Chain A
Amino acid sequence: MSEKVVFWYGCNVVRHGDIIHGSIEILRAIGLEVAPVGGPGYCCGTTKDANLRAADGMAKRTVEKFNDLGATLHADKVVTWCPSCHRHMGQFMSGYTEPQQSMSHFTQIVHAQRERLRECLVRRVERRVVLHKHFGFREVAVNPLVEDLLRMIPGLEVVSTDSAVPGHMCSALVSVPQALKDVTRGVCELARSSTADDVVTVFHSCQRLLCGLESSESFRVINYVSLLGESMGLDLVDEYKQWKTAGSEDEVMDLVGPERVAKLGENFVREQLMPELRRAPVK
């Protein structure tokens, strides 16, 4: 009987359904039965530093849901994706709640079972890639774990570098615009100096904030889950990147499509989502 785990993917990663679906398939490929959870109903509260009562309530509700899920599904482990959620659970939530499950990061779980994953990496991916690394997520050594996973992909050439930038992921730099600009420019220089076809992101916010570089640069920006998925033969499309690299607002609307636009409301898409989608990375 396969082990059951709760896969807590978080909030902001929902911009990249390809990462969520790819991660679930990877967890299944290593023999796990996966119960995915995420979105606002499972928010850790990390964004609520200005409202501790809200942060407190969100964390307690989320831990209670995990405990219920664990007991009902007989899943004794929560697998995290988002480093902010992982950190917030470790630093705050577990300090005043009573989580009944152990917590591991996605990279740890997959790396520990990587030989099972290797059997599924059947397609060659003839690319030369370099990993975009941050040095702030000290809870888990994600960079070497991800590089190990990438090296299992047949045909993939992984360039080793010591380059790593501040923060646990790029979203941490948004509040310091000059730092984000420096990092973005550094990513372009890293790709050039490595003569890489692809810059590979570890986390979703790096993918979100850097994928727009494809409009002006010759390299691809791709998440490591997408590369693993490509080698597994999965059909994963980063639609968010397609929207970010579209040439005009009208093209974005066409790509999103009338059905989804109608569901969300055209005004909402144009006024609330479009500014983010049309904002190019500054370097």
Chain B
Amino acid sequence: MNPEVTDRNAVAPEPPRTLRGYLDGFIADTLDRCTRCGQCYVACPMVGYAPELAGADPAAVVSGLLPLLQGAPGSREAVGWVKVCTQSATCIDACPEGINAMLMLRVARMGALGSLGGEAQMKATDDPLFFRKIEAFAATQLAPEEIEAWHRASAQERTAS
């Protein structure tokens, strides 16, 4: 095969149109580049808050985390790390491969919640009344006309008013 011909005929990949499509690209890239060195784990200021991480090997924790990205079970230590991630971002600069490790943890969290296709390994903490409470507090803090204009009106309605 002549590589020049192949390149000339290559079609640029379509940009993702869904969150899942976007995540699939990130996951593939992360799995391709991650060397399991564990530097992201070493840089994390939160690992002391997870009892299951006491004495854990950084490289092993990261190795146990990567399956979560594919919707497969992660290790107990990896799920423990996911649970204490507070998006402190120190892991990003620590990665020698330039992976956004904070995003990797976030996507691993999605995997641990069962959103990427596998069994859930942790419970979601969503408040079923989250939005109702938002509306309630808004009703105490904003005037009715502000709520109508700022929360509900379409662009055309805003212009008309």
Chain B residues near A39 (CB-CB < 8 A): 134-135, 138, 147, 150-152
Chain A to chain B contacts (Cβ below 8 Å), 8 pairs: A14-B141, A17-B140, A37-B150, A40-B134, A50-B120, A95-B16, A138-B92, A168-B86
A17 to B137: give the CA distance in the assembly, Å: 9
| Distance in Å: Cβ of B106 to nearest Cβ of chain A | 7
Query: Could you tell me if A167 and B20 are in contact, using CB atoms closer than 8 angstroms?
Result: no
Query: Could you tell me if B19 and A55 are in contact, using CB atoms closer than 8 angstroms?
Result: yes
Query: Could you tell me if A91 and B46 are in contact, using CB atoms closer than 8 angstroms?
Result: no
> Beta-carbon contacts of A239-264 to B below 8 Å, as 1s and 0s?
11000000000000000100010011
A39-B138, A138-B89 known; A50-B113 Cβ under 8 A: yes
Is A1 engaged at the interface, CB distance under 8 Å to the other chain? no
Chain A residues near B2 (CB-CB < 8 A): none
Chain B residues near A239 (CB-CB < 8 A): 140-141
A69-B158, A71-B155, A166-B86 known; A17-B142 Cβ under 8 A: yes
Query: Could you tell me if A52 and B156 are in contact, using CB atoms closer than 8 angstroms?
Result: no
Interface residues of A in 251-283 (CB under 8 A from B): 256, 260, 263-264, 268-269, 272-273, 276
Chain B residues near A37 (CB-CB < 8 A): 150-151
Query: Could you tell me if B90 and A95 are in contact, using CB atoms closer than 8 angstroms?
Result: no
Chain B residues near A167 (CB-CB < 8 A): 86-88
Stretch in B5-13, B32-40, B57-65, B124-132 touching the partner:
B124-132
Chain A residues near B83 (CB-CB < 8 A): 175-176
A129 to B106: give the CA distance in the assembly, Å: 34
A166 to B92: give the CA distance in the assembly, Å: 14
Stretch in A41-49, A118-126, A142-150 touching the partner:
A41-49
> Beta-carbon contacts of B110-123 to A below 8 Å, as 1s and 0s?
10011110001000
Query: Could you tell me if A264 and B86 are in contact, using CB atoms closer than 8 angstroms?
Result: no
Query: Which of B15, B18, B88, B147 counts the most chain A CB atoms within 10 A?
Result: B88
Query: Could you tell me if A175 and B125 are in contact, using CB atoms closer than 8 angstroms?
Result: yes
Interface residues of A in 7-45 (CB under 8 A from B): 11-12, 14-17, 20, 35-43
> Beta-carbon contacts of A66-97 to B below 8 Å, as 1s and 0s?
00110111000000000000010001100110
A172 to B134: give the CA distance in the assembly, Å: 18
User: Which of A38, A51, A73, A240 has a CB less than 8 Å from the CB of B115?
Assistant: A51
Query: Could you tell me if A50 and B124 are in contact, using CB atoms closer than 8 angstroms?
Result: yes
Query: Could you tell me if B89 and A168 are in contact, using CB atoms closer than 8 angstroms?
Result: yes
Query: Could you tell me if A49 and B106 are in contact, using CB atoms closer than 8 angstroms?
Result: yes
Task: Please give me the residue from chain A that is nearest to B110 by CB atom.
Answer: A49
Query: Could you tell me if B86 and A173 are in contact, using CB atoms closer than 8 angstroms?
Result: yes
Query: Which of A14, A135, A269 counts the most chain B CB atoms within 10 A?
Result: A14
Cβ-closest 9 pairs across A and B:
A17-B141, A39-B151, A50-B124, A72-B155, A167-B86, A56-B19, A172-B86, A68-B155, A14-B138
User: Which of B19, B84, B86, B139 has a CB less than 8 Å from the CB of A263?
Assistant: B139
Chain A residues near B103 (CB-CB < 8 A): 91
> Beta-carbon contacts of B48-72 to A below 8 Å, as 1s and 0s?
0100000000000000000000000
Is B76 engaged at the interface, CB distance under 8 Å to the other chain? no
Chain A residues near B130 (CB-CB < 8 A): 47
Query: Could you tell me if A40 and B131 are in contact, using CB atoms closer than 8 angstroms?
Result: yes
Query: Could you tell me if B132 and A272 are in contact, using CB atoms closer than 8 angstroms?
Result: yes
Chain A residues near B20 (CB-CB < 8 A): 52, 56
Query: Could you tell me if A92 and B141 are in contact, using CB atoms closer than 8 angstroms?
Result: no
User: Which of B22, B87, B113 has a CB less than 8 Å from the CB of A168?
Assistant: B87
